[in-house]
Amino acid sequence: MDKRPLGTSGFSMAPLALGGNVFGWTADEATSFSILDAFVDGGFQLVDTANTYSTWVPGHVGGESETIIGKWLARAGKRDRIVLATKVGMLKDGEKGLKRAHIEKNAEQSLRRLRTDRIDLYQTHIDDPDTPVEETLEALDRLVKAGKVRAIGASQYKAPRLRESLAASDRHGWARYQTLQPELNLFDRATFEAELQPVALEHGLAVIPFFGLAKGFLSGKYRKLEDIEGRPRAAGLKKYFEGDRGTRILDALDSVSSRLGSTPAKVSLAWIMAQPSIAAPIASATSVAQVQELMDAARLELDAAALRELDAVSK
């Protein structure tokens, strides 16, 4: 299994990231520990979370995922075996944005919850148009210089703002974004490919896309609207059933996975890994069996015929 560079940050890692959004939500503490153990013991490194996971759950305030990861790190003693990524900037405790004070306060809170002295990859979760990029980047640069953050990344940025941020870092000699975390999968690819991928390729950004399985749709477990009723992500899954494009993509995944002796989930992630600029897609698991399947995807290489078939139905 080849390892891929995470931008110019000095990190080299296996081409799959574990999403921590489910920890403390659809995966309880014990299950989360087992998933993390299986992932790291399988030779993988990048664990991605955020300070707001999981504010969408009734009664949660954010930080639940970071807290579980911190408890696991304290118990497992595997801190030096992972690349630990978290985020700042989404709504939490009635505040959101990327102003200096907000970043500094939330970085300290994340460090305490994660029970670590440094964050390997600290990402701005979403752009804050009300804050100059210089204020955000200067605050992040201070964290890097203090040794509390090793590298920084951007998530859910539009291309013009991303370019502006990169230029500001270069102009001032500040830490510069090394990674980009956009939405990318076989269903949702047009915006990334047209607008963000050119920036990533030009500036050497390592792309670690989220929703690699389209919230589970591309795993093939949802075949009709009735299948998503009562699911935690039901509202977000409905778009995949509009028109017949989703069905055609699933049919192609069935065809390719059958021919290769694989599964739709593995093929979906392998397709992302085959795209230019991709370092590692992020995928979540709620069981050890699921994380084993995800790790198998990193060992699957799609042939030219498979890539053509998938491209034909998803563009």
Structural domain includes residue 253: no
CATH number, residue 203: 3.20.20.100
Closest listed residue to residue 49, CA positions, set 30, 23, 75: 23
Whether 230 is covered by a domain: the verdict is: no
Burial of 230 (0-12, 13-18, 19+ CB in 10 A): exposed
Domains held by the chain: number: 1
Catalytic residues: 53
pLDDT digits (tens, 9 = 90+) for 177-195: 999 999 999 999 999 999 9
Alpha helix segments (H runs only) across the chain: 29-41, 64-76, 100-114, 133-145, 159-172, 190-191, 197-203, 234-237, 245-260, 264-273, 288-297, 304-314
Question: Looking at the domain assignment, is residue 247 inside a domain?
Answer: no
The per-residue pLDDT for 235 is 81
What is the signed CA dihedral for 37, 40, 45, 47, rounded to 10 degrees? Answer: -20
Query: Looking at this protein, which amino acid is placed at residue 226?
Result: E
Residues present in the chain in total: 315
**So what's the pLDDT on residue 160?**
98
Residue 245, domain member (yes or no): no
Looking at the domain assignment, is residue 242 inside a domain?
no
Those residues whose C-beta lies under 8 Å from the C-beta of residue 173, and which sit 6 or more positions away, are none
Q: What is the extent of the structural domain holding 92?
A: 4-219+266-303
Task: Read off the tokens for 19.
Answer: 């999403």
Identify the segments of the chain with pLDDT beneath 70: none
Residue 254 lies in a domain: no
Q: Given this model, what pLDDT does residue 230 score?
A: 78
Q: What is the reported pLDDT for 239?
A: 93
Reported as a single tens digit per residue, the pLDDT across 265-294 is 999 999 999 999 999 999 999 999 999 999
274 belongs to a structural domain: yes
Q: Is the pTM of this model over 0.85?
A: yes
Q: Is residue 138 part of a domain?
A: yes
Cα 14 to Cα 5: distance, rounded to the nearest angstrom = 9
pLDDT at 228: 81
36-68 pLDDT, tens digit each:
999 999 999 999 999 999 999 999 999 999 999
**Tens digits of residue pLDDT in 217-226:** 999 998 888 7
